[in-house]
Amino acid sequence: PGFRLDRQTTDLLGGRPRRETAYGVTSLSPQPAGPERLLPLARGHWE
């Protein structure tokens, strides 16, 4: 299944809000791949 992650950030130099959408694919089945599971995985990707 795939997922969409909408992010809103603030530009550190200009202070302007910025929105972006990221799309992903997971091998998890729909039941264990709920938002409460996918969000920490997506955030952990950058650590």
Q: Which amino acid is at 44?
A: G
Please report the pLDDT score of residue 2 as a whole number. 83
Domain locations along the chain: 2-44
Rounded-to-integer distance, Cα 16 and Cα 9, Å: 8
Residue 7 has pLDDT above 80, yes or no: yes
pLDDT of residue 28: 80
- In degrees, rounded to 5, the angle at the alpha carbon of residue 20 between the alpha carbons of residues 29 and 42 is 35
For the entire predicted model, the pTM comes to: 0.59
Q: What is the number of alpha carbons within 13 Å of residue 19 lying toward its C-beta?
A: 1
pLDDT tens for 8-47 read 989 889 899 999 998 988 888 777 777 888 888 877 766 6
